[in-house]
């Protein structure tokens, strides 16, 4: 393991698994009391471990974040499972929220109808969205769990939608 303790690898794996999205490199450095190079070594070892075990999981790393995600070849299977987990109307409501986020609840209800109240409740219970009071309505936002659940980097998602909205 190139001098990396298996205990630290397991801690990193557990942190990434339990996180509600990507974890900042800075936060991981503080958690392990590591400098950037030491963290890179640990992340590389975990990445190598998943590759050697031919795991369905992979480590994704950017300049600022690290995440545990599903390999691309398993995404279609997961999407089929997710679609079975949520009804089509709930997924359509979630898609509209994702596209417009942050969005007023009243905007969603106007566009999708009164049944959207129950869709939003289901999405709140699954912690894919969160709300806060905004005048007479609520403002709905995506949560970090949304990005982890759908294996999306928030930064990539937001930049893609900014491009499309312009």
Per-residue model confidence as pLDDT tens digits over 83-120: 667 888 899 999 999 988 899 999 999 999 999 999 99
Query: 42-56, 58-72, 99-113: which has the minimum mean pLDDT?
Result: 58-72
Distance CA 44, CA 62 (A): 12
Residue 133: inside a domain: yes
Q: Both 10 and 54 in a single domain?
A: yes
**CATH assignment at residue 55:** 1.10.10.10
Cβ proximity of 42 and 49 under 8 Å: no
Average pLDDT, the chain: 87
Q: Both 125 and 104 in a single domain?
A: yes
Closest CA to 70 of 83, 84, 58: 58
Write down the residue that tokens 């909205």 correspond to: 165
Q: What pTM, to 2 d.p., does this model score? A: 0.55
Q: Which residue range is the domain that position 49 belongs to? A: 6-70
Tally of domains in the chain: 2
């Amino acid at each position: 393991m190139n001098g990396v303790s298996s205990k630290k690898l397991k801690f990193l794996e557990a942190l990434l698994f339990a996180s509600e999205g990507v974890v900042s490199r800075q936060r991981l450095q503080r958690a392990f009391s590591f400098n950037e190079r030491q963290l890179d070594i640990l992340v590389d070892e975990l990445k190598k471990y998943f590759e050697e075990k031919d795991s369905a999981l992979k480590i994704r790393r950017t300049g600022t974040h690290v995440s545990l995600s599903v390999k691309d070849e398993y995404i279609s299977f997961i999407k089929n499972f997710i679609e079975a987990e949520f009804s089509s109307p709930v997924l359509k409501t979630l898609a509209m929220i994702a596209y417009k986020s942050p969005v007023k609840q009243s905007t969603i209800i106007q566009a999708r109808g009164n049944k959207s109240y129950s869709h939003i409740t289901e999405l709140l219970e699954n912690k894919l969205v969160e709300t806060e009071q905004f005048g007479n309505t609520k403002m709905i936002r995506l949560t970090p769990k949304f990005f982890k659940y759908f294996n999306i980097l928030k930064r990539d998602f937001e930049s893609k939608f900014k491009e499309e909205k312009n």
